[in-house]
Structure 1
Amino acid sequence: MGQFLQFVFLGLSTGAVYAVLASSLVGVYAATGIINFAQGAMGLWAVYAVAALRTDGSLVLPIGTIPLGSADDPTPMGLAVVIGVGSAVVWAILAHYLVFRPLRHAPVLAQVVASVGLMLFLQALVQLRFDTENLLALATLPDRTFEFAGAVVNVSDVILAGIAIAIAVIFWAYFRLTTLGVATRAGSEDELAARLVGYSPDRLAAVVWVLTGAATGLIVILAAFTIGLSVTSYTFFVIPALAVALLGRLTSFGIACGAGLLLGSFQAVITWLTTKDWWPEWAQAGLGEALPFVVIVVALFVFGGRIPSRGSLGEVKMPAVRIPRIRPIPTIVVLAAVIAAILLTSGTWRFGVVTSVILSLIALSLVLLTGYLGQISLASMAFAGTAGFALSKLTVNWNVPFPFSILLAALIATGLGILVGIPALRIRGAQLAVVTLAAAIAIQSFVFNNPEITAYEGNIIVDPTLFGLDLGVRDGTNLVTVRFALMVLLVVAIATLVVMRIMAGSTGRAFLAVRSNERAAASVGINVASTKLLGFALSAFLAGIGGCLIGYSRGQLSAGSFTVVVGLTLLAMTYVGGITSVSGAFLAGVIGPLGVGYVFLNQTLDLGEYYEIIAAGGLLLMAVLNPVGVSGAVTELVDRLRSEHRSDHPPSTTTIVTPSNSEAGANA
């Protein structure tokens, strides 16, 4: 019993972080209607800023550094904490005015990808500006213990829990007992009414951003000594925080806080249980990280229909969709250009070309599911990784030959995609994005990083052969063979053409109808549930094929090939290219991770370390300024020029012009 209680108390420090992040998410949602995926990343900057100040007195800024001390005389703890909390507040204010305020009336998709982009931007900026490998968090709270019922309890853990509860009480009091808080709640239900009585929703929201930024910065700074410093951990603490916030329907600070503390303690108890002899070996890794996904799914299925949405002043539209058409000449030109790139390059450059081709297929899976069907998915790399690791077992353990190995592995990913898509039958929008992101993290932690599940002879993948022809990626010192590159191009080209036919046919029209209005689609005989699951299945199958090709290109897989960050970065590139168009997927492949754009940035400009921050920054700019992406912007420009040309040169005979299906936009 004493050991059990000891781990319960040990989990309070992490639980306190969950609780405060959850309370902050509830506050931001009440003020803006936005689910802020970057809430943990805002605290990430604060905790590393304090660590740098306490190590050598350096005040690290996004650009430049101000010395406030030295290694022998670092910044005093009190001043360092104040500066750290202030930095979190500054990031929160910048996020409000530069990112989320312009997107107040934008589609949910734009808000989600902007939030994800901000998360990636802050994480990349921290890795770029701080010495993350060598910085350590120093104690800020009393380092004492006491005994309780046979358990040795850290005083700091109890203090952190108390601070989390106090912050939740402060937030509750602000929204319930103050004039500004009540006005913020009223504005969330009827923004126009709030404006008519003299309140600015923007200023009310700014106050909430300041409060939540300060609370987030404070709790992570105080908990860092116990939890330790980790860029990835603090960034994705938002997932368990979202889990407990959703338990409170994104309205209850009390439930969010209490559930956060309980979740942290429960994860610590699971860690303790995994040390027992009777605990199964397959469940010793990643189970605690997968738990928030279960909590989120249950919470959304129970409360999803009753989570309040923010009132708005007008109808929000999704980016317009252009129906793809297979044109022989452009298709041949594109294929010829890729073949020329393969034949004229070698080594790293050819590897970049092949990687771009593969990534374009995974990006196409996002275009199909998110841009075409309107289901926001952040789990594309989880599907790709599932197929990749399945391919390893199929080729090594069961000797399944190519191409049947790819098809079977992709079908396994398809089954997982359908399972992840089941919550879409009940929820949609940002809540579905939460589910898919939580699923991606759960799969990464419990499957990819679990040696009992994925580790099989080092996850080696047998080279593909067809009719005795070796299609392996390497031949001696040759990094990528021409045969392998052409095989990848052929597989991706066939898959792309098939998907384009589907998108242009009756299935594609059903997808667009569901994207536009689910009730209207159902009224004309479309089975909405089946259509959604079909979308998830097709998307996962495409991503699975891409994951298999990544596996063949590596020869041996690791979890690092399919991390959540890589998946989110590819989503960013797809949105930059154009989330609603096939050409946008091609552009995403070119500028995707380890693709041609990355090789150019790294090899030619020697700026590879800036790739992630450039990708995230590009996503933020596109989400705020140009939601249709580069491909959509080019298409709009061409259409405008053609329209101006026709107006300058009117036809000699009268013609009847009807709207083209390819020009029809779909509303959210």
Structure 2
Amino acid sequence: MNTWVFFALLGVGTGAMYAAFALSVIITYRGSGVVNFAVGALAMIPAMVFAELRLHGDLVLPVVMVPSRYDIGAPLGFVPAAAVAMTVGSLVAGVVYLVVIRPLRTAPPVTMLVATVGLTLMLQALAVRAFGNVTLRAPGILPKSVVDLFGRRFPVDRLWLLATVVVLAAVVVATYRATRFGLATRASFVNEKGAILLGLEPARLGLYNWMFASGLAAVVGIVGTSLGGVSPYNFSLFVVPALGAALAARLRSVPVAVLAAVAIGSFEAVAVHIVAQRQVPRFFLGGISSLVPFVVIIGALVIFGRTLPNRAAIVERAHVPMSLDRVHKSLWGGTIVFAVIVLNANDPTIRFAALESMFVATLLLSVVVLTGFVGQVSLAQLSFAGFSAFMLSRFGSVLPFPLGPLAAIAVTTVVGTLVSIPALRVRGVQFAIVTFSVAVVFDDLFFRSPTFVGRGGMATVEPPRIAGVDLGIVGAGQFPARGFGYSSLVVLVSCAFIVVGVRRGRLGRRFLAVRSNERAAAAAGINVGRTKVAGASLASFIAAVAGVMFAYKNTTFNGGGLEAQDGLELLALAYLGGIGSIAGAVMGGLLAPSGLFVVAILGGGASNTQFLLTGLGLVIVAVRFPEGIAGLGQMLRRKILAPVALPESVDDEAALVFEVGPEVGPLDRP
């Protein structure tokens, strides 16, 4: 018992950092209405600037096209380095709000969330470009003394970090309860229109809250650089436990958020000790610490799901226009012919890039269904595809083709459906929190488990064979084999036709009704919970099919490329292409890392530059072109022909709610 208590106390330092990020999430949400997935990236920039100043005396700025590193002579002390780092962090946060967040104040919640995902990708790429893909550990800031605790040496710097966060939390509580700024922020959150009538400026309040929240996280990030160090990516993964703590606090209570975050950090430390001592089954040796925030998030949604504040219900916002996805024979035929021509290219690099694009496009179709049609923002579709691939590596060794892939798809669909059950109690971006935590759990628990992955951490898939005919990626002395490419094209087109059929049928209209207004949909006789679960099941099925494509394409693979971080980029590609249409999924597939556009046009595979351009493009699309690249033509046509013709996209889906009921309505007529 004493050992468990020791490791629980050892985890309070990490829990304190979770708490700071949770407070930042709460402040940002109540001040600007954004569930900020970029809180870790915004804290990472000033932390890395601080570490460079302390270690090398270099001022490094997250910029492009101008020099980013300036030698100021010698390493700085704590106070001047912290002052410079906080100034840089405040400028970055202010620019982010003015350029990205403020223009999206009336945007759909999914667009605001996607914008923060784009910010995360962009800031991470800028950090890699400026600092390198390294972990920086600054000289000690907190006292380094140790005390004897249960016969072990316990570093007291964890307790000092916790004390720092507790003091900051007290400042936050006092600020929002006793100052005019705090009262104005609370009034604007409850009733924005009323606040405007009282003479308040919600946009300016949002800026102040955004900078305050980012500065709070940056302070703790700077102080914590001497503990675990800071890299372009590690702070971003702190978002999951921070969101769990924020949800446990119902996005409102600062003390509860701090207690929940510290408890998560303590339980994670205990879990790490249990794994290190091999006191858990072999399956869990990949790591069970990520289960703790996941359980907290699920518990918070089950208990408080229907009472969690939802600013989207307070501030009326439009929805991203949806394409009707009419089957234009010439467009579909031309696209398929183009794909066949590419698959017949003599250059194997081009053929493999086409396979990568088709895999990503198929996977993006699942995002189109769940996020575009139903309005549930999922960040776990890539994880479901990976789960299906690993399942195929197991089933494929005992079941003949096609029973092996069918079994893998079936199991993955069931798992995806079970994960969607919390959707019955939440709406919109809150579901994104669940799915992102699911992606982290899959990454840590499944894809790193030697039992699940296989011997040596690598899974192997036997090529598909029918009647002795090899249909795998290696065949007839070719790599990749053209026959495998044709098969992948058939799978992609089949999934696309399934999505078209669903979108134009009664189920698709129910999806859009629920997406538009759940209460109105329920009043029209639609079972909202069943509809959302049906959407998640269909999306999981398509993701599982993409996972089978991934497994047969790679033949030997591990968890690389299936991390939660890559799930963020997948959503970015979906939104870049156009999250409401099949054409958008195809566009996203072409723009994928190692996809056809990158290889054939840019002449290379994935790079940090493409990572940066993806994040930047996502932000621009979210702010200026919410229909994505695929919707640019329709957007221009609507602006030109609006006086004389109706648009081909559904801009006001609320009207559909009253035409979709349990019985056949007007839209069901031929």
**What is the TM-score of this pair, normalised by structure 2?**
0.93
Provide the residue aligned with 1:568 in structure 2: 568
Report how far residue 326 of structure 1 moved: 2.6
2:263 partner SS = helix
Deviation at 1:20, TM superposition (A): 0.7
| SS of the residue 2:503 aligns to | helix
1:428 aligns with 2:430: no
Query: Which secondary structure does the structure 1 equivalent of 2:309 belong to?
Result: coil
Matched with 2:636 is 637
- CA distance in 2 between counterparts of 1:525 and 1:340 reads 48
Q: Which moved more, 1:634-643 or 1:45-54?
A: 634-643
CA distance in 2, matches of 1:565, 1:328: 37
Which residue of the partner structure matches residue 180 of structure 1? Answer: 181
Contact kept? 2:134, 2:231, Cα under 8 Å: no
Aligned identity (percent) is 33
Cα distance change, pair 531–311 in 1 and its aligned pair in 2 (3 A): closer
Q: Does 1:67 align with 2:70?
A: yes
Q: Is the 8 A contact 1:6 1:152 kept in 2?
A: no
CA contact (8 A) 1:377 1:436 kept: yes
Would the alpha carbon gap of residues 546 and 228 (structure 1) be closer, same or farther in structure 2, given more than 3 Å must change?
same
Cα distance in 1 between the residues matched to 2:641 and 2:481: 43
Measure, in 2, the Cα distance between the counterparts of 1:375 and 1:88.
Answer: 32
Deviation sequence 1:512-540 (CA, Å, 0-9, x none): 22222223323333222221111111101
The answer to whether 1:412 aligns with 2:399 is no
Q: Which amino acid aligns with 1:628?
A: E
Give the alignment of 1:505-654 within 5 angstroms.
505-600=505-600, 602-603=602-603, 608-641=607-640
1:192-341 alignment, distance < 5 Å: 192-310=193-311, 315-341=316-342
Deviations 1:407-430, CA, capped at 9 Å, x for gaps: 221112111110111011110112
SS in 2 for 1:344: coil
Aligned to 2:662: none
Please give the residue correspondences for 1:406-485 in structure 2 after superposition, counting only pairs within 5 Å.
406-456=405-455, 458-475=458-475, 478-485=478-485
- Does the 8 Å contact 1:598/1:608 carry over to 2? no
Unaligned runs of 5+ in 2: 658-670
Residues 310-348 of structure 1 deviation map (CA, whole Å, 9 limit, x = unaligned): 388863111122222234333222111100011125222
Instruction: Find the counterpart in structure 2 of residue 497 from structure 1.
Output: 497
Tell me how far apart the structure 1 counterparts of residues 291 and 344 of structure 2 sit (CA, whole Å). Answer: 44
Distance change in 2, residues 1:661/1:198 (3 Å): closer
Please identify, of 357-366 and 473-482, the stretch whose mean Cα deviation from structure 2 is larger. Answer: 473-482
Alignment of 1:336-355 (within 5 A): 336-355=337-356
Q: Aligned pair 1:666/2:669, yes or no?
A: no
- Structure 2 letter corresponding to 1:552: Y
Counterpart of 2:13 in structure 1: which amino acid? S
**Matches of 1:579 and 1:277, distance apart in 2:** 44
Please give the per-residue CA displacement for 1:164-192, whole angstroms capped at 9, x wherever unaligned.
Answer: 10111100000001111111111111112
Distance 1:510 1:345 in 2: 46
Structure 2 contact 522–528 (Cα < 8 Å) conserved: yes
**Any residues of structure 2 matched to 1:104-123 within 5 Å, and which?**
104-123=105-124
Q: Which residue identity lines up with residue 413 of structure 1 in the other structure? A: T
CA distance in 2, matches of 1:67, 1:111: 34
Secondary structure of 2:227's match? Answer: helix
User: How far apart, CA to CA, are the structure 2 residues paired with 1:18 and 1:551?
Assistant: 36
Q: Which residue of 2 aligns with 1:36?
A: 36
Q: How many Å separate the matches in 2 of 1:277 and 1:376?
A: 36
Task: Summarize the Cα distance change of 1:249–1:145 in structure 2 as closer, same or farther, 3 Å threshold.
Answer: same
Cα pair distance change 1:663/1:214, threshold 3 Å: closer
- Cα 1:513–1:161 change in 2 (3 A) is same
Matched residue SS, 2:429? helix
For residues 514 and 178 of structure 1, the distance between their equivalents in structure 2, rounded to whole angstroms, comes to: 40
Query: Is the alpha carbon distance of 1:78 and 1:424 closer, same or farther for their aligned partners in structure 2, counting shifts above 3 Å?
Result: same
State the secondary structure of the residue aligned to 1:274. helix
Amino acid of the residue matched to residue 295 of structure 1? V
After superposition, the C-alpha distances for 1:339-390 in whole angstroms (9 at most, x for unaligned) are 0011125222211111111111111111111111111111110111110110
CA distance in 2, matches of 1:600, 1:60: 34
8 Å CA contact retained: 2:136, 2:229: no
**Structure 1 contact 18–261 (Cα < 8 Å) conserved:** yes
SS of 2:372's equivalent in the other structure is helix
Take 1:633 and 1:661, find their aligned partners in 2: how far apart are those partners?
A: 12
Whether the 8 Å contact between 1:249 and 1:303 is mirrored in structure 2 is: yes
Instruction: From the superposition, tell whether residues 82 and 2 of structure 1 become closer, same or farther in structure 2 (CA, over 3 Å).
Output: farther
Q: Is the 8 A contact 1:570 1:593 kept in 2?
A: no
Residues 579-614 of structure 1: per-residue CA shift (max 9 Å, x gap): 11111111111112221122246526x983311111
Tell me which amino acid in the other structure corresponds to 1:262: A
For residue 479 of structure 1, give the secondary structure of its aligned residue in structure 2: coil
- 1:287/1:446 contact within 8 Å kept: yes
* Whole-Å separation in 2 of the counterparts to 1:229 and 1:476: 49
Q: Distance in 2 between matches of 1:45 and 1:489?
A: 42
Give SS of 2:453's match.
coil
> What is the Cα deviation at residue 494 of structure 1?
1.6
Partners of 1:421 and 1:343 in 2: how far apart?
Answer: 40
Query: What is the Cα deviation at residue 633 of structure 1?
Result: 2.1
Q: Answer whether contact 1:190 1:311 (CA < 8 A) is retained.
A: no
Aligned equivalent of 2:97: 96
- Separation in structure 2 between the aligned mates of residue 199 and residue 643 of structure 1, nearest angstrom: 36
Q: Secondary structure at the match of 2:276?
A: coil
Q: 3-state SS of the aligned residue for 1:102? A: helix
Q: Secondary structure at the match of 1:235?
A: helix
Name the CA distance, whole Å, in 2 between partners of 1:91 and 1:433.
Answer: 25
RMSD: 2.2
Distance in 1 of aligned mates of 2:250 and 2:54 = 39
CA contact 2:267–2:292 (8 Å) conserved in 1 = no
Please give the alpha-carbon distance, in whole angstroms, between the structure 2 residues aligned to 1:641 and 1:104. Answer: 26
With normalisation by structure 1, the TM-score equals 0.93
Alpha-carbon distance change, 134 to 279 in structure 1, aligned in 2, over 3 angstroms? closer
- CA separation in 2, counterparts of 1:123 and 1:256? 26
Aligned to 2:396: 395
Deviations along 1:143-162, whole A, 9 cap, x unmatched?
Answer: 11122454432121111000
Q: Does 16-25 or 141-150 show the bigger shift? A: 141-150
Residues 194-238 of structure 1: per-residue CA shift (max 9 Å, x gap):
222222112222222222222211111211222233433211101
Aligned to 2:375: 374
- Letter of the structure 2 residue corresponding to residue 492 of structure 1: L
Count of aligned pairs between the two proteins: 651
